[in-house]
């Protein structure tokens, strides 16, 4: 009952000034964790944005997080994708590799296995783009580290429920 669980929560909000600050302030003010948070407008006509938050806590804390989010005035819907059923979770990663020779070739080979794409290249560098679960991206980063990894940028998790239903 008091075990720490990891939940992915989708929050649909009115896209108005300060809404992200409200959500983030709620997490910091009440001492909740944010493992990752992504946000973008998803419906311009309705001025709706979707925030995907990965968070951790006991079941009581997770319940609180959802209740606290729900009572923010610009929040339209809160869905716990982890609890409500199977969901697809994806993250995008950009990795910059620098170097020449064997390491460069090895990184290309591994990128191929991971289905990463090269989106920028010079004589002495690559930028790979890869999408997948957070775990897959972690694994890719670990493989790239000894091969000349110089920089990474990740989007954080976006998620959507499986099946035909909205949410």
Contact residues: other proteins, CB under 8 A: 13-14, 17-18, 21-22, 25, 29, 60, 63-64, 67-68, 70-76
> Which is nearest to 129 in space by CA: 137, 138, 139, 119?
119
Least distance CB 5 / other proteins (angstroms): 15
What are the beta bridge partners of residue 11?
A: 51, 78
E strands of 29-86, at which residues? 36-43, 48-57, 75-80
| Of residues 75 and 81, the one with the C-beta less far from other proteins | 75
| Of residues 68 and 131, the one with the C-beta less far from other proteins | 68
| Of residues 14 and 138, the one with the C-beta less far from other proteins | 14
Least distance CB 82 / other proteins (angstroms): 18
3-state class (DSSP) for residue 135: helix
Give the other-Cβ count within 10 Å of 95's Cβ: 23
DSSP summary character for residue 146? G
Least distance CB 13 / other proteins (angstroms): 7
Least distance CB 25 / other proteins (angstroms): 6
| Of residues 4 and 139, the one with the C-beta less far from other proteins | 4
Least distance CB 38 / other proteins (angstroms): 20
Report the C-alpha gap between 91 and 157 in whole angstroms. Answer: 5
CB distance 89 to 155 below 8 Å: no
Token look-up 């968070």 returns 55
| Of residues 14 and 106, the one with the C-beta less far from other proteins | 14
Report the C-alpha gap between 7 and 22 in whole angstroms. Answer: 20
């Amino acid at each position: 009952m008091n075990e720490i669980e990891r939940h992915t929560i989708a929050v649909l909000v009115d896209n108005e000034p300060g809404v992200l600050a409200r959500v983030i302030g709620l997490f910091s003010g009440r001492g909740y964790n944010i493992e990752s948070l992504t946000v973008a407008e998803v419906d311009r006509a309705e001025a709706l944005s979707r925030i995907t938050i990965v968070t951790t806590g006991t079941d009581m804390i997770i319940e609180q997080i959802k209740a606290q989010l729900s009572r923010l005035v610009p929040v339209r819907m809160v869905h716990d994708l982890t609890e409500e059923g199977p969901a697809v979770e994806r993250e995008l990663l950009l990795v910059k590799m620098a170097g020449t020779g064997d390491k460069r070739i090895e990184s290309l080979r591994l990128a191929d296995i991971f289905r990463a794409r090269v989106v920028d290249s010079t004589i002495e560098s690559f930028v790979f783009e890869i999408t997948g679960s957070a775990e897959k991206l972690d694994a890719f980063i670990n493989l790239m580290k000894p091969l000349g990894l110089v920089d990474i940028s990740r989007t954080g998790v976006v998620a959507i429920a499986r099946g035909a239903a909205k949410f």
